[in-house]
Amino acid sequence: MNEFKYISENLKRLEDDILRLCVKHGRNRDEVLLLPVSKTQDIDKIRYVYEQGYRTFGENRVQELTQKIPVLPDDIRWHLIGSLQSNKVKYIIGKTVLIHSVDRISLLEELNKRAHADDITTDCLLQVNISKEDTKSGIEINDVESFLSMASSFENIRIKGMMAIASFTGDKNVIKAEFETIQRKFVDISSKKMHNIDMKYLSMGMSGDYAEAIEFGSNIIRIGTTIFGPRS
């Protein structure tokens, strides 16, 4: 599959860069998960990345995810990273290892209901809005604690951490300040014991800002363009 050689070259360059950044910031490479984001990508390209050894992929739309699952290998661990409508929960319950985009209690209620019906627990991240842009979804940083204390009562949900998307800006200082804000919150909450809350993952960093994310403690970086090239 020589036509996809550029993808393996992109991966190699990216892995080298992640390793360099981990060393630079005193991080262990093993604690940062590279999550290839395969949204809009053809099955052949995703399979090629799989063949390079990757077993965890991120998708942002339920319909696309449910179409891809049956035609790709069974041992792929799928993350849902995009916003989730409550009426779509039934299609993906039990099919993801992590949902990054929980941003409201009504969604947790639906997830909990469906997980309970299937006798499973569903791992989720809380999406937190760290950007000043109105268009970004996620709960406000000051509301995180009260949200978590409500989330705590859903017995078929485990909150495994937080996810954030930085402002779309070339100003690295703005991005660093946003990542630092959520890192502080993450560390702060990690020190507290809350039922059903286990602050294990801090999902932040995309193609344009994974360097800053690694600097500020991210342990899941969600990378699409840098691996697959620009989306059509």
Ligand X SMILES: *Cc1c(COP(=O)(O)O)cnc(C)c1O
Name the residue nearer to ligand X (CB basis): 39 or 113.
39
Binding residue (CB under 6 A) for ligand X from 82, 138, 161, 217: 82
Residues in contact with 229: Cβ distance below 8 Å, sequence separation at least 6, in sequence order: 6, 7, 10
Name the residue nearer to ligand X (CB basis): 155 or 229.
229
45 binds ligand X (CB under 6 A): no
207 binds ligand X (CB under 6 A): yes
Binding residue (CB under 6 A) for ligand X from 60, 96, 129, 219: 60
61 binds ligand X (CB under 6 A): no
221 binds ligand X (CB under 6 A): no
Binding residue (CB under 6 A) for ligand X from 81, 89, 107, 175: 81
206 binds ligand X (CB under 6 A): yes
Which residue minimizes CB distance to ligand X? 224
37 binds ligand X (CB under 6 A): yes
Name the residue nearer to ligand X (CB basis): 35 or 151.
35
Site for ligand X, rule CB under 6 A: 37, 39, 60, 81-82, 165, 206-208, 222-226
